[in-house]
């Protein structure tokens, strides 16, 4: 179905976790998304162990998608050290994998990074002590800087952000608090306050909360597939979000 002249319909889902037993499992879902949306966002953890064979199984089901696909990798894609091969398989299947880049579709800007952990607010992990802790924090800072750079290069009326890790604590509520530092980072929220952003989509927190917001009021949606299946059992497990495309260009 073609895009409406005054809006763009965005479907978002993450954590589909494709493995050897996933053949055909989401083919119908992807076909339904094609009928109802103009763009599909895949918010990471598209495989179980980051294996090329898993990505190839997903690629076959993605053949049902006849609209643009944007994706970010998740932590599971790095499990086997073959994230480059997984990225290429996704690209060959028609997905554009964002890692600090932006792109524009029908006048709407999209920026994507995987993100990283570190925790939220005043209790976020700081870069002191052992070198391993400093490296952990540096990874989180680097992901936030990549997101900021991607947003800075977009000059569209609307900016949409896709992540794997959460930028706010609100959408990981429901998970054990002990693992909050491994589910996201407030550092990812900082770029979202520096640039006008319309909405943010992420996955990773399977038992989190579907909706939250940044300090500046930007809506944040947790689109992890298990969470959507549990929270909205009577609806197809993807988030549908409509963006107007006739606004004034953002600065």
- Across the chain, which has 251 residues, the per-10-residue mean pLDDT values are 72 97 92 96 98 97 95 98 97 97 95 96 87 93 97 95 98 96 96 96 97 97 97 94 70 39
Domain spans in the chain, listed from the N-terminal domain onward = 7-244
| DSSP E strands, 85-238 | 95-97, 101-105, 108-112, 158-162, 199-202, 211-213, 219-222
What is the C-alpha to C-alpha distance for residues 24 and 249, in angstroms, rounded to an integer? 41
Q: Which residues of 28-47 are buried (b: 16+ CB within 10 A; e: fewer)?
A: ebbeebbeebbbbbbbbbbb
Q: Supply the pLDDT for residue 169.
A: 97
What is the predicted pLDDT for the residue at 245? 82
Q: What secondary structure does DSSP assign to 49-93, as a single string?
A: S--HHHHHHHHHHHTT--S-EEEE--GGGGTTS-HHHHHHHHHHT
Radius of gyration of the chain measured on its C-alpha atoms = 17
209 contacts 222 by C-beta, under 8 angstroms: yes
Q: Is CATH 3.40.630.30 correct for 7-244?
A: no
**pTM as predicted:** 0.94
Q: What is the pLDDT of residue 128?
A: 86
Measure Cα distances from 99 to 39, 44, 70, 80, 102 in Å: 18, 11, 11, 19, 9
Question: Which H helix or E strand runs over 12?
Answer: strand 7-13
Contacts of residue 133, defined as CB under 8 A and 6 or more positions apart, other chains included, come to 125, 127
- Going by C-alpha positions, the residue among 9, 17, 152 that lies closest to residue 74 is 17
Going from the C-alpha of 80 to that of each of 51, 53, 83, 162, 176, the distances in angstroms are 6, 12, 8, 23, 26
Would the CA dihedral through 166, 132, 145, 100 be positive or negative?
A: negative
Tokens of 251: 């600065």
Give the pLDDT confidence score for residue 122 in this predicted structure: 86
pLDDT in tens, 6-15: 899 999 999 9
Q: In 3-state terms, what secondary structure has residue 107?
A: coil
In the structure encoding, which two tokens stand for residue 9, read together?
């319909």
């Amino acid at each position: 179905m073609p895009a409406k002249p005054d809006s763009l319909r965005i479907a978002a889902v993450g954590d589909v976790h494709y493995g050897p037993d996933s053949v055909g499992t989401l083919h119908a879902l992807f076909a339904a998304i094609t009928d109802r949306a103009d763009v599909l966002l895949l918010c990471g953890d598209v495989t179980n162990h980051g294996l090329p064979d898993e990505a190839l199984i997903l690629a076959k089901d993605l053949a049902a998608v006849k609209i643009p696909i944007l994706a970010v990798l998740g932590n599971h894609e790095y499990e086997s050290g073959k994230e480059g091969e997984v990225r290429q398989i996704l690209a060959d299947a028609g997905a554009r994998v964002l890692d600090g880049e932006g792109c524009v579709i029908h006048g709407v800007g999209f920026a994507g990074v995987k993100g990283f952990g570190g925790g939220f607010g005043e209790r976020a992990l700081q870069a002191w002590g052992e070198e391993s802790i400093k490296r952990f924090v540096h990874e989180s800072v680097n992901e936030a800087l990549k997101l900021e750079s991607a947003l800075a290069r977009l000059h569209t009326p609307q900016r949409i952000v896709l992540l794997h890790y959460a930028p706010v604590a609100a959408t990981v509520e429901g998970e054990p608090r002990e693992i909050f530092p491994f589910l996201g980072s407030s550092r990812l929220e900082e770029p979202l306050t520096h640039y006008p952003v319309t909405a943010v989509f992420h996955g990773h927190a399977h038992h989190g909360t579907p909706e939250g917001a940044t300090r500046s009021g930007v809506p944040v949606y947790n689109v992890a597939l298990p969470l959507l299946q549990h929270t909205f059992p009577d609806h197809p497990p993807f988030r549908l979000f409509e963006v107007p495309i006739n606004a004034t260009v953002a600065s």
